Structure 1
Amino acid sequence: MKKAIFFDIDGTLIDCPKGINEISPRVKKSIKTLQNEGNYVFIATGRPYAFIYKELLDFGFDGFVLTNGAQVIVKNKAIYKQQINKNFVKKLIYDLEKFDIQYILQGEIYSYIKEKYRELYSYYDSFYIPRKYIKSEYNIEDIATYKIEMLCKNKEGTDYCLSLENEEYDYIHNSSPNVFEFYSKKDTKASGIIKVLEHLNIPINNSYAFGDGKNDIEMLKTVGCGIAMGNAGDEVKNYAKEITDEVENDGIAVGIEKFILDKSI
């Protein structure tokens, strides 16, 4: 029976802080081998479409789980998308600007960030994020927002962002630099993966996922076999069924060979 395999991007397929900005040849070959054997391969990421490298778009993945599960695409068709309530977004923006917090609204294709937010642009430049699908001029009434990222420059702003978690919404906090990812609790990588599996009629037992971060935990414990990267933290590894090598040592290829193909490539 066919399998479905899901890959996180940052810290899994690549690792920009370590200078690994492209998928290694060995990892590419191992993923293609999965497809050649009739399996499906997907990206599962917190990134929006605008943040996906051309290399990944052109690679031939069978689909994408984007913005932590708020958008799910299979074979170039959106099978699910759920935007954040627009009135809530407008209220949030008002408060963000009051506390001098820079932000980006992550949409379906384009993402939106004001031209004056130079620090936030620099942060994304450090990850080699393309600007092709980023707009600085927009009308909030005309766009859908699936996830929001914020850069706090002072303690007051940080304290505000730390207060945002409630029954509906959650955040991931990267303290260096002081960046928050804000998203709906009901949409996760795991919920997006379940939608893919149901769409393709693939049982949970035939699903695999590779990840390294906090927002990968739910998908790692949901799929049939969650595989943590060697560079993942102990909290993440505790939820994984298997642990592979680090990104710089072709951890995905090692994991595919050992836990999925069960043979050398």
Structure 2
Amino acid sequence: MKQKLIALDLDGTTLNHQGKVSTKTKETLSKVIQLGHHVILATGRSFQISKHIYQELGLDTPMVNFNSGLVHLPYQEWDKERVVGLDLDVVNDIVKRADKRPEVSLLTVESKDFFWVNKVANPDIDFFPRKITEDDLLPKQYPQEIISIMLFSENPDDLAKEIREAYPDLSMHVWRGNVRGIEILSKKVHKADGVFYVADQFIIANEDIIAFGDEENDYEMLQSVGHGVAMANASDKLKNVAKDVTAFTNNEDGVARYLEDYFKLN
């Protein structure tokens, strides 16, 4: 079998409902890697709140963070590292707009190595592993290029419409699942772009890319790659553009079971 690139979304895909990687998933991915295939993570999360998963899986491949706003080789210098940042004036304007909206419970501004917030909080959000303190408040000057803005709100649509009208070229994803809010990135930033960028480094053709996802920010990736696979728990919109759908959900080791069948590991 030709060498494959397997791109994995995290939340709702590789991770179960508890935000964990199951033993079966770890064992299956290890077997796939031993066969000579490349496994990469392609997530909307920042590196700061996804690096423990990268470590747990024992990966040494490039990683796609912020839906490809950052493509890098964790813990190593890599001359192919790519950052697609936001204009600072745009960042400041969106922060001001969010501050005028009481429905926005929290705003985050993130770079490769840092994240800042607009208020002290203890958010009930799975991928915030700690309390937010005054040390995390937005600084007067940012030490790194800003990649992402996240706005958490139970009613994100009105603000999303306002920002989209003001900045039509921005890449924006509105989350309406367990976590509700808006993710804002630079123009034309989506996972497919990052996955193709990594595939080029490995000289892997599109037909040999397998990607798994479950949510709106996986749409371009599953639509574009040679073999896009939607999770059983994915939205109908995603299932309609995918080449295949797993028989099991993320809470039932859907990725692992699919790969077992695909690579005939049993």
TM range (shorter): 0.7 to 0.9
Distance, in Å, in 2 between the alignment partners of 1:230 and 1:85 is 38
Instruction: Name stretches of at least 5 consecutive residues in structure 2 with no aligned partner.
Output: none
Distance, in Å, in 2 between the alignment partners of 1:11 and 1:141 is 32
**Map of 1:255 onto structure 2:** 258
Distance, in Å, in 2 between the alignment partners of 1:252 and 1:178 is 25
Change (3 A) 1:226 1:41: same
**Map of 1:202 onto structure 2:** 204
Distance, in Å, in 2 between the alignment partners of 1:140 and 1:73 is 24
**Map of 2:218 onto structure 1:** 216
Instruction: Name stretches of at least 5 consecutive residues in structure 1 with no aligned partner.
Output: none
Change (3 A) 1:189 1:199: same
TM-score, normalization: structure 1? Answer: 0.86
Change (3 A) 1:133 1:145: farther
**Map of 2:108 onto structure 1:** 104
- Taking the TM superposition and a 5 Å limit, the aligned residue runs for 1:125-144 are 127-131=126-130, 136-137=136-137, 138-144=139-145
- Taking the TM superposition and a 5 Å limit, the aligned residue runs for 1:1-265 are 1-15=2-16, 18=17, 20-52=18-50, 54-61=52-59, 62-74=61-73, 76=76, 77=78, 79-100=81-102, 101=104, 102-116=106-120, 118=121, 121-124=122-125, 127-131=126-130, 136-137=136-137, 138-152=139-153, 159-165=158-164, 166-175=167-176, 178-244=180-246, 245-259=248-262, 261=263, 263-265=264-266
What is the aligned length? 253
Change (3 A) 1:203 1:178: closer
Change (3 A) 1:128 1:86: closer
Post-superposition offset of 1:211: 0.4
Q: Residue 212 of structure 1 contacts residue 232 of structure 1 at CA under 8 Å; is this kept in 2?
A: yes
* 2:188 partner letter: K
* 1:201 partner letter: I
Q: Residue 26 of structure 1 contacts residue 253 of structure 1 at CA under 8 Å; is this kept in 2?
A: yes
Q: Residue 41 of structure 1 contacts residue 63 of structure 1 at CA under 8 Å; is this kept in 2?
A: no
Q: Residue 209 of structure 2 contacts residue 226 of structure 2 at CA under 8 Å; is this kept in 1?
A: yes
Q: Residue 49 of structure 1 contacts residue 110 of structure 1 at CA under 8 Å; is this kept in 2?
A: no
